[in-house]
Chain A
């Protein structure tokens, strides 16, 4: 094992070590001061943790690939909201109502297509104009949110379908529906990134775009595909979450892009591109959700939660820098 390998292993392990520290901390402190009789570390609670990680988690997994490319997507929160609106609203369309419960899978398809379409818009603009993804998606974050408001003004869009809620709340082999979607996404994306040409290309482009072009990789279509993928995943996240809640406010999903990026960075993915792992992002997502859950468990108030989450993010960056002395590349956008 070379020193580089060891360092890599250490870095990949870092997020899971952090999760263990969190678990230990909240269990011990929780025992001392929480009013709940139940232990923090119990199986049901950990299963819930996975389920609650799903909405941000599914988006963050897609964000990992985008960031390995050296791009970023700030519009996922708005895509999430628009897909949710399509999901709930489409079930009230006359022809859909005549379909009975068959309307449900169809509504999912509509929502997912919405996500893919919005992603394709971003991807095409990035590809064809050569404007940086940060700017393209910052602008479309505004534009997509405008579309959300255009749909139903400032009113919420609601449709409560109990069949759908029952499906979303179901547990299969102990895991919630949302967890299955999260884990399924992890598995598929992990396979894509480690076993396929597309995955290898993603790393190659992020490492050195010039070299990738010279090696004959078609960068433009590759970007387009990845933006469609993250659009799809943002919509999938909406499908999973709103199946269980039945009402979406036009402001829902705001700041989700920032939480997703946070999770990806916690997982060790480089903003400059070329390095990152799906499994570590899952760790990042779990770490954040655990932090929220744990702080609630020990009774921390709102201001402490905000302070702690912000400072931990910075602390992780400092730690990451210590581990990786080479000096982090600046975000070149």
Chain B
């Protein structure tokens, strides 16, 4: 009996643990510094997390499908550079379309390799990290890309404007989160993603086209990366070739923190959003109480381990691992 009860508590913690931790965290920092929960500060944090967040939404699909994507940072640099370059050549509208097309093509290529050729996603996306960086440098000739006429274009609307007092990047992040959440939880495609990630072999036997589903998850990821590139480009109207460098691991950290299992088959868009927000608010909160940026790394380390530990402990019904 006692064992059962423990399991129940465990299940509850596993389901809501990340929310409880988040709430405790916010209350703690709010008590330490009033400014932390002022609307301006909250908006500021979410706005600067939006780019990472949008990318994390897409990676959530890939991870639930049982794969990894380490190329998103490099691909985001590509999107940013391409849209900035084409802006002056084609005008903003066409530039955005073309950039989405090209980024989706990259996503399709990765999806083909991982989905249809069944290559290992870690190594494929690692290779693409390097290859896409080469592609970006080839495109730009290694130069920074800047929009020549910054005041004569509506391009800044995505990164810099507000609608009804809310910064546009937050709106885009929220909108995309809602749409993708519905896609994942309410559609046949979403169910197939869980099925493929949960047990690829069984999914194949039950007639789910594993290859096509995996392929699609990388398209979703590429779409999100393109959106992130758009936000980034619009925010600064100019960029270096290395703008997204290193973001792949931060994105993955947010997704894991949100509880998506790297075994595949588990995780939700909503929890990923929480994961992103936790990372953003940790950074901001530590800064406000006057700690250096690297303390954030150490805190993130501990929080990730604790969060995931709690999660697996709840699932197996005991705290310590049964490994002898």
Chain A residues in the interface with B (C-beta under 8 A):
74, 125, 127-132, 134-136, 138-150, 153, 213, 218-220, 223, 254, 258, 261-262, 265, 271, 302-314, 317-318, 321, 327-328, 330-333
Contacts and interface: CB of A to CB of B under 8 A. Distances in A.
Contacts of A131: 305, 308-309, 312
Contacts of B128: 310, 314
B25 interface: no
A306 B137 contact: yes
B131 A307 contact: yes
Contacts of B320: 128-130
B294 A146 contact: yes
B302 interface: yes
B209 interface: no
Contacts of B312: 129-131
Contacts of B262: 132, 134-135, 333
B130 A313 contact: yes
Contacts of A303: 133-135, 137-138, 142
Interface in B106-132: 113, 117-124, 126-132
A130 B298 contact: no
25 contacts: A74-B249, A130-B309, A130-B322, A135-B305, A138-B249, A138-B253, A139-B300, A139-B301, A142-B301, A143-B302, A150-B294, A153-B292, A213-B323, A218-B324, A265-B120, A304-B134, A306-B137, A310-B131, A314-B113, A314-B119, A314-B124, A314-B128, A330-B66, A330-B67, A332-B263
Nearest to B133: A306
Contacts of B121: 330-331
B154 interface: no
B287 interface: no
Nearest to A144: B301
A262 B124 CA distance: 10
Contact of A317 (B70, B123, B129): B123
A333 B312 CA distance: 13
B88 to A, nearest CB: 21
Contacts of B123: 261-262, 265, 271, 313-314, 317
Contacts of A258: 70, 126, 129
A144 B124 CA distance: 27
Interface in B155-192: none
B256 interface: yes
B321 A129 contact: yes
B305 to A, nearest CB: 5
Closest 6 CB pairs of A and B: A143-B301, A310-B131, A130-B321, A146-B297, A306-B134, A307-B134
A318 B133 contact: no
B138 A307 contact: yes
A146 B299 CA distance: 9
B211 interface: no
Report the contact-size class of chain B (Cβ under 8 Å from the partner): 35 or more
B296 interface: yes
Given A130-B322, A220-B321, A310-B134, A331 B68 contact: yes
Contact of A310 (B132, B249, B322): B132
Nearest to B252: A138
Interface in B252-280: 252-253, 256, 262-263
B19 interface: no
B200 A330 contact: yes
Contacts of A314: 113, 119, 123-124, 127-128, 131
B45 to A, nearest CB: 19
Contacts of B292: 149-150, 153
Nearest to B110: A314
Given A138-B256, A303-B142, A332-B263, A317 B120 contact: yes
Contacts of A125: 305
B316 interface: yes
Nearest to B241: A303
B210 to A, nearest CB: 10
B63 to A, nearest CB: 10
B249 A143 contact: no
Contact of B301 (A140, A271, A321): A140
A271 B300 CA distance: 26
B120 A327 contact: no
A142 B295 CA distance: 10
Given A309-B127, A330-B121, 17 more contacts: A74-B249, A131-B308, A135-B256, A135-B304, A136-B305, A138-B304, A142-B297, A146-B297, A149-B297, A218-B324, A219-B324, A307-B138, A309-B130, A310-B130, A310-B132, A317-B120, A321-B117
A145 B249 CA distance: 13
A321 B118 contact: yes
Nearest to A312: B127
A327 B118 contact: yes
B314 to A, nearest CB: 12
Contacts of A135: 256, 262, 304-305, 308
B126, B297, B298 — most chain A CB neighbours (10 Å):
B297
B120 A313 contact: no
B324 A220 contact: yes
B208 to A, nearest CB: 15
Nearest to B136: A303
Contacts of B67: 330-331
Contacts of B124: 314, 317
A120 B294 CA distance: 22
A23 to B, nearest CB: 22
Nearest to B315: A130
Nearest to B318: A130
Nearest to A220: B323
A146 B127 CA distance: 27
A80 B294 CA distance: 17
A288 to B, nearest CB: 11
Contact of A328 (B119, B200, B293, B305): B119
A271 B119 contact: no
Nearest to A151: B294
A253 B12 CA distance: 40
